[in-house]
């Protein structure tokens, strides 16, 4: 088996591009790969000197091929940017591996999208997607251009909640998807692309890459707000969203019971850690009014989310009742804000949307402008 | 919590200067940032796994990318680019 050290030793006998330091020490090696006894070496050079460098390349190839056990050697010259070549100084050249590889994407805003907000919960099953859907419809009712990104890849709910059963079309560029529209909201979900009931069984890296596609390879057009429905928890999806786009804020949904609030607190702590401002907390399933007798029951207790918000210094956005009309309309794909306008249920949700819109207009508490980043020569 | 307003690589990438909104300006050498990179490649997954990185006297910063609202990713000319430096971490390195 040929080792990297043997290759480097062979290259140490050959003068590098500057004619002084050896190839191994010159910092010009931009890649050494050994596969099945074959050795591939890339040498970064100034492209204007490609001809002059050819003898060096041939010499290096011969030297590597001469190593016992080498089945073949390919040495190529690559044109590096002047900076990368100049920057690789001899002091640490022995460690220089590949040229800087970009892992993931830098955090770029989405072109045309003014604010991206996350709806998260910590705990699953607290009605986060229902709130996210109605929040989006509510914001659209207030006159804003709104999109919804269903970031819950393992349990996409938006196709059902918006009653969308078609597949998204391809944009003329043949690459990007056109979001589907319902009640004035543009929606994108992995659920549009797979059969209902088909499981998505993926590890983290797949989630990250699919999420980036759903986010960036979609023709969102001009939007005031993109509402991102997060899956429960504090994992890959949350981290990807927090790292890859500048989030304008997060809405935390919780039921009033302690069991849900524990996880809501975790969600809040996570957003604090990654410096995403909190737009506020919604108490869902806040109380139940019996349709038969009119008596009220606090099934999941009451007021816990409000208390928690006050304790943590986070705005409280409102209470949404545990209600059969919200449940039934959601299952039918008719967001209650649109299908039952003027009802107490719709009003409760609309008020939350109004508070979110107001906060976005004035800037969430703790929201600070991104620092200016410069590289001076 | 102090928030950075300006992040500048200078002196051919050998120095990073960060100005915070409380008026404090910190200067960190690229070498310091490289050997104290928060990346798991350097820090491991527990303090006992921390690697001592040496020979980085001449390392330089070639790129800086924003990460969400809370950090920057620094790309060094030795190829290291997995460290995410949060505002808190930068501040801590300077203290």
**ipTM rounded to 2 decimals:** 0.93
Domain count, chain B: 1
Shared domain check, A121 and A57: no
Facing residues of A88 across strands?
Answer: none
Cβ–Cβ under 8 Å, residues A98 and B79? yes
Shared domain check, A76 and A41: yes
pLDDT digits (tens, 9 = 90+) for A72-126: 888 888 775 434 433 334 434 444 444 443 434 456 789 999 999 999 999 999 9
* Domain extent at residue B89: 4-44+55-94
Amino acid A102: pLDDT: 40
CATH code at position B64: 3.30.2020.30
- Among chain B, residues having any CB pair with chain A shorter than 8 Å are 3-10, 12-13, 18, 21, 55-73, 75-79, 81-82, 84, 87
Shared domain check, A186 and A58: no
Min Cα distance A236 → chain B (Å) is 14
Amino acid B28: pLDDT: 97
Q: How far apart are CA A182 and CA A159, in angstroms?
A: 10
Amino acid A84: pLDDT: 40
Q: Could B62 and A246 be called an inter-chain contact, meaning their C-beta atoms sit closer than 8 Å?
A: no
Q: Could A92 and B58 be called an inter-chain contact, meaning their C-beta atoms sit closer than 8 Å?
A: yes
- Among chain A, residues having any CB pair with chain B shorter than 8 Å are 83-84, 87-92, 94-103, 106-107, 242-247, 273-276, 368-377
Closest residue in B to A95 (Cα) is B78
Query: If pLDDT is split at 50, 70 and 90, which confidence band does B26 have?
Result: very high
Please give the span between the terminal C-alpha atoms of chain A, in angstroms, as a whole number. Answer: 44
Q: How far apart are CA A73 and CA A61, in angstroms?
A: 6
Residues with Cβ < 8 Å from A227, sequence gap 6 or more? A117, A119, A132, A135, A136, A139, A146, A147, A148, A149
Q: Which of A78, A223, A231 is nearest to A155 (CA)?
A: A231
Min Cα distance A56 → chain B (Å) is 23
Element holding A87 (H helix, E strand): helix A82-87
Q: Is B81 exposed, middle or buried (0-12, 13-18, 19+ CB in 10 A)?
A: buried
What is the Cβ-side half-sphere exposure of residue A252, based on CA atoms within 13 angstroms?
Answer: 33
Amino acid A80: pLDDT: 56
Q: How far apart are CA B76 and CA B60, in angstroms?
A: 6
Calculate mean pLDDT across residues A175-202.
95
A101 lies in some domain: no
pLDDT digits (tens, 9 = 90+) for B66-76: 999 999 999 99
In degrees, to the nearest 5, what angle opens at C-alpha A186 toward C-alphas A181 and A192?
70
Amino acid B18: pLDDT: 97
Closest residue in B to A106 (Cα) is B65
Name chain B contacts of A115, Cβ cutoff 8 Å: none
Q: Give me the residue from A95, A100, A107 closest to B62, CB to CB.
A: A100
Q: Could A96 and B8 be called an inter-chain contact, meaning their C-beta atoms sit closer than 8 Å?
A: no
Amino acid A107: pLDDT: 67
Shared domain check, A287 and A173: yes
Q: Which of A95, A128, A147 is the last residue in one of the domains? A: A95
pLDDT, greater one: A96 or A26: A26
Q: Could B58 and A89 be called an inter-chain contact, meaning their C-beta atoms sit closer than 8 Å?
A: yes
pLDDT digits (tens, 9 = 90+) for A121-160: 999 999 999 999 999 999 999 999 999 999 999 999 999 9
Amino acid A101: pLDDT: 38
B63 lies in some domain: yes
Calculate mean pLDDT across residues B1-16.
95
A263 lies in some domain: yes
Q: What are phi and psi of A281, to 5 degrees?
A: -115, 135
Residues with Cβ < 8 Å from A342, sequence gap 6 or more? none
Q: Could A375 and B81 be called an inter-chain contact, meaning their C-beta atoms sit closer than 8 Å?
A: no
A370 lies in some domain: no
B68 lies in some domain: yes
Answer left, alpha or beta for residue B35, where phi above 0 means left and psi between -120 and 50 means alpha.
Answer: alpha
pLDDT digits (tens, 9 = 90+) for A242-258: 999 999 999 999 999 99
For chain A, what's the residue count? 377
Query: Which one of A97, A244, A277, A373 would you mutate to disrupt binding with B, by most B Cβ within 10 Å of its Cβ?
Result: A373
Q: Could B87 and A275 be called an inter-chain contact, meaning their C-beta atoms sit closer than 8 Å?
A: yes
Closest residue in B to A376 (Cα) is B10
Q: Which of A78, A31, A109, A81 is nearest to B63 (CA)?
A: A81
For chain B, what's the residue count? 95
A367 lies in some domain: no
In degrees, to the nearest 5, what angle opens at C-alpha A35 toward C-alphas A29 and A36?
145
Shared domain check, A214 and A79: no
Q: How far apart are CA A253 and CA A280, in angstroms?
A: 9
Q: Which of A95, A129, A162 is the last residue in one of the domains? A: A95
Q: Which of A139, A155, A160, A149 is nearest to A119 (CA)?
A: A149
CATH code at position A62: 3.30.300.130
Shared domain check, A199 and A294: yes
Min Cα distance A255 → chain B (Å) is 28
pLDDT, greater one: A266 or A86: A266
Shared domain check, A120 and A76: no
Q: How far apart are CA A188 and CA A219, in angstroms?
A: 10
A107 lies in some domain: no
Q: What is the dihedral of CA A206, A210, A213, A215, to 10 degrees?
A: -120
Q: Which of A148, A166, A173, A201 is nearest to A335 (CA)?
A: A148
Shared domain check, A229 and A264: yes
Query: If pLDDT is split at 50, 70 and 90, which confidence band does A29 have?
Result: confident
Query: Which one of B39, B78, B84 would you mutate to disrupt binding with A, by most A Cβ within 10 Å of its Cβ?
Result: B78
Q: Which of A35, A62, A95 is the last residue in one of the domains? A: A95
The percent of residues above 70 in pLDDT, for chain A, comes to 93
Domain count, chain A: 2
CATH code at position A202: 3.40.50.300
Q: How far apart are CA A218 and CA A238, in angstroms?
A: 20
DSSP A279-344: EEEEEES--EE-TTT--EE-BTBSSHHHHHHHHHT--EEEEE---HHHHHHHHTT--HHHHSTTSH
Calculate mean pLDDT across residues A272-288.
96
Query: If pLDDT is split at 50, 70 and 90, which confidence band does A236 have?
Result: very high
Amino acid A267: pLDDT: 95
Name chain A contacts of B91, Cβ cutoff 8 Å: none
Over 50: is that where the pLDDT of A371 sits? yes
- A355-372 as b/e, with b when 16 or more CB fall inside 10 Å? bbbebbeeebebbbeebe
Q: How far apart are CA A116 and CA A367, in angstroms?
A: 13
Least confident window among A12-16, B39-43, B64-68? A12-16
Shared domain check, A56 and A198: no
pLDDT digits (tens, 9 = 90+) for A287-338: 999 999 999 999 999 999 999 999 999 999 999 999 999 999 999 999 999 9
Closest residue in B to A242 (Cα) is B68
Q: Could A371 and B4 be called an inter-chain contact, meaning their C-beta atoms sit closer than 8 Å?
A: yes
A104 lies in some domain: no
B50 lies in some domain: no
Shared domain check, A131 and A71: no
Question: Can you read off the two tokens belonging to residue A38?
Answer: 């074959």
Name chain B contacts of A212, Cβ cutoff 8 Å: none
Residues with Cβ < 8 Å from A170, sequence gap 6 or more? A176, A177, A178
Q: What is the mean pLDDT of chain A?
A: 89
Shared domain check, A248 and A163: yes
Question: Can you read off the two tokens belonging to residue A220?
Answer: 């969102």
B49 lies in some domain: no
Question: Can you read off the two tokens belonging to residue A10?
Answer: 């062979």
Q: What are phi and psi of A2, to 5 degrees?
A: -80, 135
Shared domain check, A281 and A216: yes
* Domain extent at residue A141: 113-362
Query: If pLDDT is split at 50, 70 and 90, which confidence band does A191 have?
Result: very high
Answer left, alpha or beta for residue A123, where phi above 0 means left and psi between -120 and 50 means alpha.
Answer: beta
Q: Could B87 and A99 be called an inter-chain contact, meaning their C-beta atoms sit closer than 8 Å?
A: no
């Amino acid at each position: 088996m040929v080792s990297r050290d043997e290759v480097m030793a062979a290259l140490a006998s050959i003068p590098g591009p500057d004619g002084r330091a050896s190839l191994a020490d010159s910092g010009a090696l931009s890649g050494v790969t050994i596969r099945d006894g074959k050795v591939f070496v890339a040498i970064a050079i100034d492209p204007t000197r490609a001809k002059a460098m050819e003898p060096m390349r041939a010499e290096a190839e011969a030297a590597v091929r001469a190593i016992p056990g080498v089945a073949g050697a390919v040495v190529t010259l690559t044109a590096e940017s002047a900076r990368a070549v100049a920057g690789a100084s001899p002091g640490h050249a022995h460690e220089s591996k590949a040229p800087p590889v970009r892992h993931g994407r830098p955090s770029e805003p989405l072109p045309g999208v003014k604010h991206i907000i996350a709806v998260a919960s910590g705990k699953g099953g607290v009605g986060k997607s229902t709130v996210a859907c109605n929040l989006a419809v509510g914001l659209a009712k207030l006159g804003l251009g709104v999109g919804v990104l269903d970031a819950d890849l393992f349990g996409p709910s938006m196709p059902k909640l918006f009653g969308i059963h078609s597949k998204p079309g391809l944009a003329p560029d043949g690459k990007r998807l056109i979001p589907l529209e319902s009640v004035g909201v543009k929606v994108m979900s992995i659920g549009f692309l797979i059969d209902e009931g088909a499981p998505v069984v993926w590890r983290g890296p797949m989630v990250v890459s699919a999420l980036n596609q759903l986010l960036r390879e979609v023709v969102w057009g001009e939007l005031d707000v993109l509402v991102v429905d997060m899956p429960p928890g504090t994992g890959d999806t949350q981290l990807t969203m927090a790292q890859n786009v500048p989030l304008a804020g997060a809405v935390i949904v919780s039921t009033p019971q302690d069991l849900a609030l524990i996880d809501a607190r975790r969600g809040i702590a996570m957003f604090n850690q990654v410096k995403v401002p909190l737009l506020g907390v919604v108490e869902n399933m806040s109380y139940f009014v019996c349709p038969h007798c009119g008596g009220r029951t606090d099934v999941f207790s009451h007021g816990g989310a409000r208390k928690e918000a006050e304790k943590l210094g986070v705005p409280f956005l409102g209470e949404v009742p545990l209600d059969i009309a919200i449940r039934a309309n959601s299952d039918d794909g008719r967001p209650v804000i649109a299908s039952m306008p003027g009802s107490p249920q719709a009003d409760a949700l609309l008020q939350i949307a109004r508070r979110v819109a107001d906060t976005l207009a004035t800037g969430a508490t703790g929201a600070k402008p991104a620092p200016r980043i410069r590289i001076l020569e | 919590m102090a928030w950075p307003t300006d992040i500048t690589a200078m002196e051919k990438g050998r120095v990073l200067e960060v100005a915070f909104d409380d008026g404090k300006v910190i200067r960190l050498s690229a070498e310091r940032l490289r050997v104290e990179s928060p990346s798991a490649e350097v820090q491991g997954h527990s303090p006992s796994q921390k690697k001592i990185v040496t020979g980085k006297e001449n390392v330089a910063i070639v790129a800086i990318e924003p990460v969400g609202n809370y950090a920057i990713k620094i790309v060094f000319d030795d190829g290291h680019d997995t460290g995410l430096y949060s505002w808190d971490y930068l501040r801590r390195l300077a203290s």
